[in-house]
Amino acid sequence: MLFQSELASHFRLTISRENHIFRRSGSSRSLRNSKMAPPILSLVLPSETGRVLSIQSHTVQGYVGNKSAVFPLQLLGYDVDPINSVQFSNHTGYPTFKGQVLNGQQLWELIEGLEENDLLYYTHLLTGYIGSVSFLSTILEVVNKLRSVNPKLKYVCDPVMGDEGKLYVPPELVSVYREKVVPVASMLTPNQFEAELLTNLRIESEKDGREACNILHAAGPPMVVLTSININGNLFLIGSHQKEKGLSPEQFKIVIPKIPAYFTGTGDLTTALLLGWSNKYPDNLDKAAELAVSSLQALLQRTINDYKSAGHDPKSSSLEIRLIQSQNDIRNPEIKFRAERYT
């Protein structure tokens, strides 16, 4: 949890500058000409939950990447600053899309701009889909930079590489994730295929899923959530929290009902919800996962119902999630899906 006292010394100069600005606010001099930093109340008076830098994709239409993650985190009380790794008209599942792609140098320029204005204090870094080795390498530099400002920074990484046996990033990204990203992550949220890539372990049972979590713990992150594992037609989430190095992790599963439809943005939303709730319940990852899964399932059911009411067959194409319409389920979810702890 983030408290104001943690920021007091770091932002003493900033606060002083802000007080100076407030004293001069009645003068005829324009703030634009004063070269003084404007007051940033979200830094001086931070939210009790935290401040997240979210580096993900962005679409003008629809909810994937940052569009799927930022709003839910804000509903849960976080300040969220998005950096859009791409800006597309729509997600790539449509017949066409247009837009721009941010490269590693452009990402670093944004970080430098924040740093020059003392705006780099974050409690969390969140990353999702990354399409190139150069951009992922810059992400690693960002992690180091943010931790030089706040050593307690938590890095929540969704290592988006593929699904159902299909890789949809350049193959060379796999080794970068495995060798460089996993060791610095605080929480990792791979799906079944991604966990197999990261551990070189075929996951064919719940026992395999738990062992994959153990392998990932040994590499670095104390929290691992395998967000979807399909075993003999049954869908599970498996979570694992190693509270201290060398100790056996607390592990659990949540059985997830299968919904006969394909949605976009659900992985990005799931990771955002896991970040949000795990920070509120830092010693109770299973409770955080229950809240995240319950929110997600309520949202998906609303999405299905709304498409049906509009006369659309939910099985005919990918569905855009009903994020705005589900904000009550995000803010105050009714827990309908319970974690079962492994012994």
Q: Report residue 333's pLDDT band, with 50, 70 and 90 as the boundaries.
A: very high
Are the CB atoms for 122 and 79 separated by under 8 Å?
Answer: no
Average pLDDT of the residues in 142-148: 98
The per-residue pLDDT for range 96-106, each reduced to its tens digit, is 989 898 999 99
Residue numbers annotated as active site: 268
More confident residue, 220 or 93: 220
Phi, psi of 201 (to 5 degrees): -125, 130
Is the pTM here over 0.85, yes or no? yes
The CATH number of 46-341 is 3.40.1190.20
* Res 337 pLDDT > 80: yes
| Maximum separation of any 2 CA atoms in the chain, in Å | 73
% of the chain exceeding 90 in pLDDT: 73
Tell me which amino acid residue 323 is.
L
Lowest-confidence pick of 4-18, 37-51, 127-141, 144-158? 4-18
Spans of all domains in the chain? 46-341
